[in-house]
Structure formats: C-alpha cells, structure tokens
Structure 1
C-alpha cells in the first residue's frame, strides 16, 4: 500500500465514542459565591482560625523527618547546655472544640448526627451540636470527592427543625494555603464550624444571610416513586479534555 493511501485512511478514520450510563436524578446544585462575599467570608474565617494555629505552632512540635544521628547528638548536647525555657501556656483554645478540620471528621460528625434522628424521636437524648457552616476549597475536578456532603448536610439538619439548615460554602482552591497557614497545618480543604462555636456568630450570620442552603433535588424525585430513565452520556476519548459530547435521556418506560 502506498504511503499516500495510508495517510488518507488515517485521516478518514471514524472516531469511536465511549458511552457512560449515569443516574437519572438531577445533580446537586452547589451555591454560587460572589467575589465580594467570598473575600469577606475568607477574612472572617481566617481570623476565627488563627488562635488554633497559634496554639499549634507554640505547643505542638512539627515533624522534622529523618535526620542524621551525628546531627541529632549535637542538637541534644546544645539543648542540655542551654538555659531552661519558661513554661508556655498550653491551654487549648475553646473554639477548637467547636471546629472540625478535614473531610473525614466533618463527614463523620454529620453521619452520627443523621443516625441520632431516629433515636431522638424515641428517647430524650442530648442532641449533638449542629454544624452551622462547612467551608470547602474545591475545583470542578473535586466534585466526586465531595459529592456526599450535600446529602449529609440535608439529613443532619433534619435533627434541628427550629434552626437554619447547614450551609455549605465553596471556596476557591487558591485560598487553601491561607487556611493551612491560619491553622498551622500542611493542607486544609474542609472546615466545619458548629453553631455553638464562641466568637463565630458574625461569620455564621454573614454566611446564612448571603449564601443559600444547598439544594438536593434528587431526594424529592426519589420520594415521588416515579420511573426515570437512565442518562446516557457520550464521550469522545483522546480529546483535549475528554469532555462529554452529548447527554441524552433514555426513553422513559410507560410503566408510570
């Protein structure tokens, strides 16, 4: 076969699409935060977290990694010869008991709160503190990682019918270093603040006034007990972003 014929066949090659089946329900709608509100919320949040970071930097010794034995012995001799330091105030800030840092601890708190809903209707138990707001630094690529937060926020808020629901505040991923510096941690992506947190009333009120609660429309759609056809998504591999070309619904069955 001539080289020209091979080139012509390669250019006329038909693209193959990959079909992905997705759930039929409407996706969760995260709230949109304007730039002015975003910066104000960030400043209030950083000021609230600074006492925790100051305590960590003074009282918690960070890991120094692997060091040579000779250097370690030299530092030990210098520490013995130096004068003893005055004891520092190691009292933990009160707000640290009302703030959750990290995705796992925040999710676990809401899971336990959701489990207490059934018990509270039968027993007179003491209710755990409600999460007033959850701050998440995320990009569009992290949607799957945090996809469970809207449902947990909705279900855990049912335990407090007389209080506003938990608000999820998405923050730009570029502000993550500021939160990490305020807490003296390497990385911080999720911060949960309880409604009982002292000194957080200004931040909580501002968030509730300017950021609406997250919507979970598929919960109502599932309760309706109506058949919904699966969503069929068609994607062309090898493109720059592997973006979805089409998104169509499979025809609904007539068994309504």
Structure 2
C-alpha cells in the first residue's frame, strides 16, 4: 500500500508532466469514487503538493495568476498509481494539453476529489492529520507528550494523528529501529525520543530510495515509468517473518495487531512490563 515515501516519489515524478498544463477532460465511470472531477476541466495545474499519503494537484483558472483556488486530491488506496499508458486496470484518464496520464488501480480502493483548499469535511483522515515527519512542524517534545498518553504504539502511529504518512511498512521498520514492541503503550521520554528519531530516519531514507516495491503482481507499487522503488532491500523486519533479525539473529515474528500484519524481533523489541521494567535486553 503506498505510504508517504511512495506518494512523495509519485509527486516528484509526475509533477514535470502536469505543471503548467491545462486539464481538458477527466474520464472515469465512478463519480462516487472520483468526486467533482469535472471542476478541474479548463484549469491549469500550477504545482503538485502532498499531505501524508494524499497527493494534491494545485489548480488555478487557465488564464489567471491568482491563488490555487481548487485542489485535485488523489488517494492511491492500496494499489493505485499513475502510468504513461492505459491498460486493463485504468480507472481514470486525465487528459491535458500536454498529453494524457492514466490512473491504474487493480483493487479499486483509490479515490479522488476536487475541493477548495482546506475543505476536507468528507476526508476526516486528511482533516485531522498530524505533522509531516520530515518537516519542522514535527517536534520531539510534542510527539513525546502524545506518546506518553497513547495506547499500543503501532496502531497509534497508523492513525495518522501523531505524524502523517506512516503506514504498515514504515511503522514496523521505525519500531524495530527504535527497539520498541509494536504493542507497547505509554512510551517513556527516552522511548519516544528513540521513535521520533527512527521515524525521521526511516522515512527520509525511504523517500530517497523511491519507496518500497513488494512482489511482482499488478497491484505492486511502481513509479509511473515502470521503475520499482528500492527501499525494500533495506527492510529489517517488514515482510521478513521467520528470518533472522539483522541486528541480533533472533527469528523475526509475524503477528496481527489491530488487524494489521506486524513484524518485530522479540529480542530487540521486548514488551516492557507495566511497572517499567523490560523483559530481556535491547540489542
């Protein structure tokens, strides 16, 4: 499922294809999933931005130099991505005066909407999203204060409220790097500091690697030109259940937490007892 690194890579790659172009038509057959896309017709794309896992095309009138008075919001869902050519899984075609761009989505979980900036009433996750992990708005002290009151840390990260863009892959990787059990709750100040640093490091490295591409099926994340991400080669625990931990050699365990497949090392990521003592040591 595309997370922040994959969406940011998508933004960087397709912005040169869309910036300065005028949208001539948006073709699809699912108005309940791709809402008000007709409002984008005749408007110029002045740039692309991103918020968490959401991609945003900033739109202005074709002949105007004023503010970006509309946003064309795209959520890639589990298997969505842009392509240079249409295919059997193409759900949306964006026609511009510079050429066409195709949105493929084998499992059909992707969504789009054209709205005025900030009008996210129909997108509660976007409206309540936390700070960007690589921005100055993501502050350790504020993160630690929230973490001290939180329940199980992995579902808390996945909620998008403490920090945006962290999904299943990068939650597992960040928690392993920080030496924290995915079910650990009420983080100490030191634990929160380790996790804060791990999130920033993991997300930064994943963005630079172009995200993670897993498997070879039709729903596997690819960049618009067919290239794969490379960060999967740096995964320490995600997708490696039953393999040795790269830090201590202990077998990585796969479990289900809050209905999400979860990977962790039982030696490097012990579950701390309520009284504050940890079982085992941190490698």
TM-score (norm 1): 0.22
Q: Which has the higher helix share?
A: 1
TM-score (norm 2): 0.21
